[in-house]
Structure 1
């Protein structure tokens, strides 16, 4: 009994194995070969096999529905990416505008700084020129005073008589007391009195 059972099991296994071989060699492999050959031939004839296969799969309800869902998911993903890109582009544009505004402000500040530097330089040059002018005037006054001090009081008195009062008084103030006294003594008494009064008033001020 045991031998018969074993023989039966072996027979069933061989039978199953034989069916698998028959399916593999007589159906599956030839079918794959035919599909591959058909794909090559149709491709050589210029037929877009991929589009045809896609059309067939769309015609199948389950496959079509699944493919449609995938397409929708892809489209939604693309739309989301597009929104993100647009948002980033807007932010980038805003940053560019802000950077341009900052650059304009910096340019304006730089120009103002340059203008202030030029103005300061002009003021310094003007101050230097004024200082030089004052120094030259002081030297000129000293030369004039030295000239009058070296001059005889009589000649100096004749010249002072021809000068305007304010200038004459201003110069007399610069002289030493002895020189001023000598010049006033040589002047007309009325003129000397007038200059003496003016000199006294300025000293009192």
Structure 2
């Protein structure tokens, strides 16, 4: 029994001596070296924390810790941003609702003015219709005249007035009248006619 006890005691002493050897020879010098390295890097102006963050991606455990912290910060920032956006949208909705209510009150108060404007528009449309009829009648007069005479009259008129009459002429008469004009004047009126036709086409599509 005494031999076994001695053997156990020797084994424990060996284990203890190995642990002590490991601590004194490897662990303590390693920590001491790390501490010195940190002090030297700090004094050299190196940001130890940024450096650790940069290389922590190569170490799975540290990388996951850093990643988790960053994820938490991103989630927190996202939640804060979303809450701020929601509050802004609520305020904007409230402003729009107030503006709608104000417009509705204005519309009710201005109903008589709106009716008046509608009547004015109808009166103007009626006048425009009458003017169009007179222009068509005037165009018929030019169609009965010779192309040379019509060209002479339209050439001295303002382009705007000439166009209003030319638009009402049939294609054959219009071509004959433009042919009798000076080339420069005919070119000007042709460009204006094209623009007027395009405008009429857009209005008819609308």
TM-score, length of structure 2 as denominator length: 0.41
TM-score of the superposed pair, with normalisation by structure 1: 0.41
Greater CA radius of gyration, 1 or 2?
1
